[in-house]
Amino acid sequence: MKLLEKSQLIKNQEIKAADNLAEFCNVITRNNLDINAFLETNQEQAHQKAREIDFKIKNGKKVGRLAGLVVGIKSNINVEDFHITAASPTLKNYLGSYDATVVKKIKEEDGIILGVTNMDEFAAGSSTETSCFGPTHNPAAPGLIPGGSSGGSAAAVAAGMCDLALGSDTGGSIRNPASHCGVMGFKPTYGAVSRQGLLDLAMSFDQIGPFASDAGGMGLMLDVIVGLDPTECTTLDWQVPNFTREVQDQKERLKGMKVGVVKEFFDVSDGPIVKIIEDRLLQLEESGAQLVELSFEYLDLCLPTYYLINYVEFFSATRKYDGRKYGHRIEEVCGEEVLRRIHMGSYISQKEYSGKYYKKALQARSLIRKEIKSLLKDVDVLIGPTVPKLPHQVGTHLDPMEMYAYDVLTVIANLAGIPAASIPAGDVKGVPVGMQIQAKPQEDVKIIQLLSFVEKNL
Ligand code: GLN
């Protein structure tokens, strides 16, 4: 059932919030041990909330936009009274003492927060294998990774353990697992959603965003979380669209929509993935979109630029985990990838090297941003694969460069600050493949329109 319909049925008392929740709790009981999507749930508290919502509805009281819908939150976003560990031993005993702005908003709109989800340690990864709580498994492709770093949130939605989930995306961590798990994932324009209460990976890239199984769910969650937050200085003050209305609107929007197809995005992707996306593009063309061939010269620069900046910002963000406030000194307990980033970040941040690496990375970032914006000038969106290769078997040894290679097509949106989403486009022998849609800053709504169109028509 589509989420907008379900939300309406809950408000009409045709589905009880308590029953909706109970169904998810059953799936969790049956499957979470194998999938490891949720790290912690509070089912009692969730049931209490569900009963309150049903009671309000029964008595004709107004309820919020997410009334009765069940939500999972990535465990690097603060939720009061849950262990917010970022899947690291560093924070193993840290209990969230407040709600992040996005969490507050979800609660205000009567969303039911069921629990917190698994992830790569401190969101540094693309496979959800570096969690200190063990890997998450891909519910859509048994034996394979779910992608990462928000693999728990993507898997929770894909496995039917909640209606909606939040993740964070620094270089693709929402879109990548959405692609591998066969669900939708949305990274809004940088600044569209408050990061207050999110544990930083690299703050100039980080964005919180939703996972959903359909465009209506995506619209509902975006309507709730997008908007200015006076307590977070990077949030944008802008005319926020009504995302849900855009999904409901049946207009034939594709007529004349210009879709940029960047040759290099396909050159770096595996054949079966290219084939799926090309088929989708042809269908879009048949439906009235105009395809425009484009070229992006700087693709090779994207990964080095992203990772250099990531190392430096992450190093600085982790200085507070020195063992005084949070129990453990990060370097003493963290995993290999986190340690690598701390060491690299510390090295690059030294004064004598900053000109050589960090300043160069910032220059490269400006160049990439300028080029992407200029590509987007003449088209409405860019469409291509989300991830260039298929997910590996859980436990396979990959060297860092092989792991980073998953991110080549997703880091671009973070470097440029633009909105981007992944939508299921097909599968290779049952393994889901996502299609990425990117747009100009603050044109998130064009992506929603496309998600809705693709879902309904292709
Ligand atoms: N895989 C990328 C990294 O490890 C992206 C992570 C993210 O978006 N949180 O940095």
Our answer on whether the CB atom of 407 is closer than 6 Å to any ligand 1 atom is yes
Q: How far is CA 398 from the centre of its chain?
A: 23
Note if 107 is an active site residue: no
Distance CA 32, CA 133 (A): 13
Give the 3-state DSSP-derived string for the chain, with helices as H, strands as E and coil as C: CCHHHHHHHHHCCCCCHHHHHHHHHHHHHHHHHHHCCEEEECHHHHHHHHHHHHHHHHCCCCCCCCCCCEEEEECCECCCCCECCCCCHHHCCCECCCCCHHHHHHHHCCCEEEEEECCCHHHCCCCCCCCCCCCCCCCCCCCECCCCCCHHHHHHHHCCCCCEEEEEECCCCCHHHHHHHCCEEEECCCCCECCCCECCCCCCCCEEEEEECCHHHHHHHHHHHECCCCCCCCCCCCCCCCHHHHHHCCCCCCCCCEEEEEHHHHHCCCHHHHHHHHHHHHHHHHCCCEEEEECCCCHHHHHHHHHHHHHHHHHHHHHHCECCCCCCEHHHHCCHHHHHHHHHHHHHHCHHHHCCCHHHHHHHHHHHHHHHHHHHHCCCEEEEECCCCCCCECCCCCCHHHHHHHHCCCHHHHHHCCCEEEEEEEEECCEEEEEEEEECCCCHHHHHHHHHHHHHHC
> Which residue out of 149, 186, 414 has the highest number of ligand 1 atoms within 8 Å of its CB and is therefore the one to mutate?
149
User: What distance in angstroms lies between residue 23's CA and the mean position of ligand 1's atoms?
Assistant: 32
- Output the pLDDT for position 353: 80
- Output the pLDDT for position 458: 85
- Output the pLDDT for position 355: 77
Our answer on whether the CB atom of 201 is closer than 6 Å to any ligand 1 atom is yes
Atom index in ligand 1 nearest the CA of residue 172 equals 8
- Output the pLDDT for position 35: 98
Distance CA 368, CA 39 (A): 37
Atom index in ligand 1 nearest the CA of residue 337 equals 4
361 and 309 in contact (C-beta within 8 Å)? yes
Q: What is the residue-level pLDDT of the chain in tens, covering all 458 positions? A: 999 999 999 999 999 999 999 999 999 999 999 999 999 999 999 999 999 999 999 999 999 999 999 999 999 999 999 999 999 999 999 999 999 999 999 999 999 999 999 999 999 999 999 999 999 999 999 999 999 999 999 999 999 999 999 999 999 999 999 999 999 999 999 999 999 999 999 999 999 999 999 999 999 999 999 999 999 999 999 999 999 999 998 677 788 899 999 999 999 999 999 999 999 999 999 999 999 999 999 999 999 999 999 999 999 999 999 998 877 899 999 999 999 999 999 999 988 887 789 999 999 999 999 999 999 999 999 999 999 999 999 999 999 999 999 999 999 999 999 999 999 999 999 999 999 999 999 999 999 999 999 999 88
Distance CA 338, CA 341 (A): 5
Does the N-terminal peptide bond of residue 75 adopt cis geometry, omega within 30 degrees of 0?
no
User: What distance in angstroms lies between residue 171's CA and the mean position of ligand 1's atoms?
Assistant: 5
- The residue annotated as part of the active site, out of 127, 153, 173, 179, is 173
Our answer on whether the CB atom of 76 is closer than 6 Å to any ligand 1 atom is no
Note if 204 is an active site residue: no
- Output the pLDDT for position 83: 98
CATH number of the domain where residue 321 is located: 3.90.1300.10
- The residue annotated as part of the active site, out of 16, 74, 104, 446, is 74
Tokens representing 167? Answer: 């993740």
Tokens representing 74? Answer: 């990535």
Closest CA to 39 of 88, 106, 5, 1: 88
- Output the pLDDT for position 374: 97
User: What distance in angstroms lies between residue 150's CA and the mean position of ligand 1's atoms?
Assistant: 9
Q: Is 211 exposed, middle or buried (0-12, 13-18, 19+ CB in 10 A)?
A: buried
Closest CA to 91 of 122, 118, 120: 122
Distance CA 40, CA 49 (A): 17
Host domain of residue 420: 1-458
72 and 181 in contact (C-beta within 8 Å)? no
Q: How many domains does the chain have?
A: 1
Distance CA 268, CA 386 (A): 11
Distance CA 211, CA 183 (A): 7
Taking every pair of C-alpha atoms in the chain, what is the biggest distance, in angstroms? 68
Residues whose CB falls within 8 Å of the CB of residue 244, separated by 6 or more in sequence, listed in order: 4, 216, 219, 220, 223
> Which residue out of 173, 200, 334, 411 has the highest number of ligand 1 atoms within 8 Å of its CB and is therefore the one to mutate?
173
Residues whose CB falls within 8 Å of the CB of residue 147, separated by 6 or more in sequence, listed in order: 126, 127, 128, 138, 154, 176, 177, 178, 179, 180, 181, 387, 391, 406
Distance CA 33, CA 40 (A): 12
Tokens representing 439? Answer: 């747009």
Note if 173 is an active site residue: yes
Distance CA 149, CA 171 (A): 9
